[in-house]
């Protein structure tokens, strides 16, 4: 009986360790308002990674990046989140996909290139204000939340 309890405890401990950032991460995990996890990176300086959920596209990545930038880093609505590493294997959580972003001022960021928000395009950018609007739930006209 004690062996089974010990085995169960070790299994729970092992599973809980899976949700912690690897040594490549520069800090603790932040849960964005859309449920995506955001992990600070050591390199490049000031960068952070948004971890994907199945089916994620540009709006989900940019929403989480902007929420983190605004809430945790004090970015202004006119600042931009810019992709510094396009969608691919996560730098912090093996077996997961992620996109790395950096916060830039309007003056240092590349010019905005429409509203497509392609997570596979390095240099793609959105203002914090615009990207945070992507986090809002759509209004249901039929009352079916």
Portion of the chain with pLDDT greater than 70, in percent = 74
In the predicted structure, residue 73 carries a pLDDT above the cut 70: yes
DSSP symbols for 36-94: -EEEEBSSSTT-EEEEP-TT--HHHHHHHHHHHHHHHH---TTSEEEEEEEEEE-SSST
Stretch 7-17: mean pLDDT, rounded? Answer: 41
The predicted model scores a pTM of 0.76
What's the pLDDT at 27? 64
């Amino acid at each position: 009986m004690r062996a089974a309890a010990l085995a169960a405890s070790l299994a729970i401990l092992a599973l809980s360790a899976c949700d912690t950032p690897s040594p490549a991460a520069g800090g603790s995990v932040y849960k964005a308002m859309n449920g995506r996890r955001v992990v600070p990176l050591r390199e490049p300086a000031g960068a952070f990674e948004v971890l994907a959920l199945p089916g994620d596209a540009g709006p989900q990545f940019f929403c989480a990046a902007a929420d983190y930038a605004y809430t945790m880093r004090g970015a202004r609505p006119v600042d931009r989140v810019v992709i510094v590493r396009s969608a691919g294997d996560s730098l912090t959580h093996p077996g997961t996909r992620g996109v790395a972003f950096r916060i830039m001022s309007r003056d240092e960021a590349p010019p905005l290139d429409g509203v497509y928000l392609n997570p596979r395009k390095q240099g793609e950018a959105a203002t914090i204000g615009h990207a945070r609007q992507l986090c809002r739930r759509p209004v249901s006209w039929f009352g079916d939340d």
